[in-house]
Amino acid sequence: MKRITVALVVAGLLSNTLFSQTISKEELTFLTSEWKGERFPDGRPKISDDLVERAKKIGIDDAWTVLKNLGYINQFESGWKTVNDEPVAGRAVTAMFMPSRPDVEKNIKERGTKQGRIGNTNSWPIDVLTKGDVYVADAFGKINGGTLMGSTLGTSIYAKSGNGVVFNGAARDLQGLSEIKGFNAFVRDFHPSFLQDMVLMGLNTPIRIGEAMVLPGDLVIGQTEGVLFVPAHLAEQVVATSEFVILKDRFGFEAVKTGKYTPGQIDSQWIDAIKTDFLKWLEKHPEEGKMTRQQLDKIMEKRTW
């Protein structure tokens, strides 16, 4: 019995040491306490794969508006360069890099070697990626020597996550990255240099990307306009409301074109007659999805769009 107890204690210590650059599960759960759904073993909110797929089809402008109307005004960042036009949506795995300091980098790398980590610290976040994740890194905007990946690491990232990256820093080997089918990267710039004088100081911790706060597990939506970071507990509401806005606009175009309703009526609280006509319109367009009167009333009541 004593041997088993000692073994369990040692295993627990090793587990904590392995992820010693992360915040504790308790702290992450505290910071994301509004999230009531499933979590990863480390406490990161686990937004469903279905919701991630739905997020790829909504408009980032609509999603931003929903967040703004809910009081979340610091979740969007623009000014990116990308590998291609592929939209990115997924759960954030966060990494915080800092300018290197010899004593600190030496200690971190020595500990990482003992823990079985391989390669430079910019590859360590890749090891924890799962399908549907987005590697989001704060590299303090460094370009020359701030290249967190080239085509080799980009291939590894896409193989593990099936997704892209958001780097407040740089990447190298644009041509090679562009050949990874389905992959995209939002970076500050591309540069031929290799990573230097940088060290990983936080893995799955809160980070800052420009003017946005990003927490592990946030829903990341990257499109042509920029990148939006949706708190996990608001992901379902933001996606569902944005989906409704798309439907509302399509229905509204037809209704205004025929003269049945005015633009002002479509863009304000709907009277019962418009709600009824909208649901009938959905029945005639099953490819657009389904919605009950209760769901419609709930979206209209919150009016976050």
Domain with CATH 3.50.30.40 in the chain: 49-233
Residues 6+ apart with CB under 8 A from 208: 138, 214
Using DSSP's 3-state secondary structure scheme, residue 198 falls into strand
Q: 């290249």: which residue's tokens?
A: 147
User: What's the pLDDT at 9?
Assistant: 36
User: What's the pLDDT at 246?
Assistant: 92
User: What's the pLDDT at 7?
Assistant: 40
Using DSSP's 3-state secondary structure scheme, residue 252 falls into helix
User: What's the pLDDT at 301?
Assistant: 82
Q: What is the CATH number of domain 49-233?
A: 3.50.30.40
pTM for the model stands at 0.88
Averaged over successive runs of 10 residues, the pLDDT of the chain (305 residues) comes to: 40 41 89 97 96 96 96 96 96 97 94 88 94 97 97 97 97 97 97 96 96 97 97 96 93 93 92 94 89 89 78
- HEC-encoded secondary structure of 124-150: HHHHCCCCCEEEEEECCCCCCCCECCC
User: What's the pLDDT at 288?
Assistant: 84
Q: For residues 267 and 270, what is the distance between their CA atoms, to the nearest angstrom?
A: 8
User: What's the pLDDT at 15?
Assistant: 41
User: What's the pLDDT at 21?
Assistant: 61
